[in-house]
Amino acid sequence: MPTAGASFDSAEPAARNAAIVQAAKQRDASSLPQLVRMLGSDDPATRVLAIRTLEKLTGETKGFDAAGSDEERAAGIKAWDAWLAGRENSGATHRGGNP
Expressed as residue numbers, the domain containing 75 is 13-90
Q: Please report whether residue 95 resides in a domain.
A: no
From residue 53, alpha-carbon distances to 27, 60, 88, 89, 90 in Å are 9, 10, 20, 23, 22
Number of domains in the chain: 1
- The whole-number pLDDT of residue 5 equals 87
Per-residue pLDDT of the chain in tens (99 residues, 90 and over written 9):
344 689 999 999 999 999 999 999 999 999 999 999 999 999 999 999 999 999 999 999 999 999 999 999 999 999 999 999 998 787 664 444 333
**Nearest in space to 21 (alpha carbons), one of 9, 33, 7:** 7
> Do 6 and 19 contact (CB within 8 A), yes or no?
yes
- The whole-number pLDDT of residue 4 equals 60
